[in-house]
Amino acid sequence: MRTRRFTPPFTFLLAHGLVVVSLLGFGSLRGQASAVVEGTGSTQSRYAAWMTGDLATDTGAARRGACRETAGGGVVLISYGKQVAGGTRSFEDADTLFTYAHLRDVALAYAEGLVECRGGAWTLAVATSNYKLEDPERAAEYGLAWQRMLIELTERATDGVKIVGGIDLEPGWGSVDAAHAWVSSYTAGPVPLVANASADGCPTRGTGGRCANGWTVDDLATMVWEDPTGTALPQIYRTDHAMAQQWGVLARTWIRRGGTPRFVGVMTQVRACHWVDIRRCTGLDLGPEAARTALQALLPEGIEVPAATDIGWD
């Protein structure tokens, strides 16, 4: 069976985004977001490029992908694409619907592969995105459905892996009202949320300000941190450090509002860049540790960026 490539519009490399999936254990989850990541260093996150729709093929490929992980623990992401009624579809391939049961079983296989092959303590983030999400009512339904899937995942999670929800929030991808509705609906449930977001069009200095597509810094910061368990895994890959500066603005804005910005790490795209013509990634291939250091330098004392993960198609 032909493997369908799971690729977002190519502008993700030219402008902003990556997509992420997150998983975390169920039980006394609320109020523990600051302790989501156990272990530090750079891990390998993956787009679910292996997805074909055949469950045996997809779960087998998930286990093999997890076994190629080089770290011994930390935060890892799997990206499932855009959410639709009944599950997800890839960005390019509108023909294949991956049901929530299918997504759940593939994520569980990935979690099992991490433990069986690498050991250690992991946080697996299983994420969707706000790509072409415009209607708030539908977005609220999608957020609830994602939370339900994550509850099932946490109930079946293997020892050694915490499972959390993930959302790739990108202002350029959908309406701010729909994104707010998705996050509010999801965070009404018990499983914490990691936002592997990009700050499209947001300012690089000061506090507050406007972002792309009618969003504001306050909008994005609220979606990421208003829930007491919400944490950020921001996309930081521009070599001029502009993306780190944008997240510095978000952090200062949230502090000014009386909150505490929380980070589980940063996400880069070096391995994804190697999948395409590398020349098109010029200036967009900042390494994981350099990205973590760049953001850390812009944050007040006491706000830590504990880890980094690099996403790819392998």
pLDDT interval class at 21 (50, 70, 90)? very low
Any domain includes 76: yes
**Residue 208 is part of a domain; what is its CATH number?**
3.20.20
* Average pLDDT of the segment spanning 116-122: 94
Q: What rounded mean pLDDT belongs to the chain?
A: 87
* Average pLDDT of the segment spanning 99-114: 97
Any domain includes 2: no
Any domain includes 11: no
Any domain includes 196: yes
pLDDT interval class at 93 (50, 70, 90)? low
* Average pLDDT of the segment spanning 295-311: 96
Category of 211 on φ-ψ map: left (φ > 0), alpha (ψ -120 to 50) or beta: beta
> Residue 25: is its pLDDT beyond 90?
no
> Residue 30: is its pLDDT beyond 60?
no
Domain count of the fold of the chain = 1
pLDDT interval class at 140 (50, 70, 90)? very high
Q: Which residue has better confidence, 6 or 184?
A: 184
Any domain includes 258: yes
Any domain includes 1: no
- Report the pLDDT value the prediction gives residue 29, as an integer from 0 to 100: 28
Question: Virtual CA dihedral for 14, 17, 19, 24, nearest 10 degrees?
Answer: 140
Q: What is the pTM of this model?
A: 0.87
Report the relative pairing of strands 161-168 and 98-99 from DSSP bridges: unpaired
- Report the pLDDT value the prediction gives residue 177, as an integer from 0 to 100: 98
Report the relative pairing of strands 266-268 and 307-312 from DSSP bridges: parallel
Question: Angle 231-237-243 (CA atoms, 0-180°, nearest 5)?
Answer: 65
pLDDT interval class at 274 (50, 70, 90)? confident
Any domain includes 5: no
| Residue 60 structural domain | 16-312
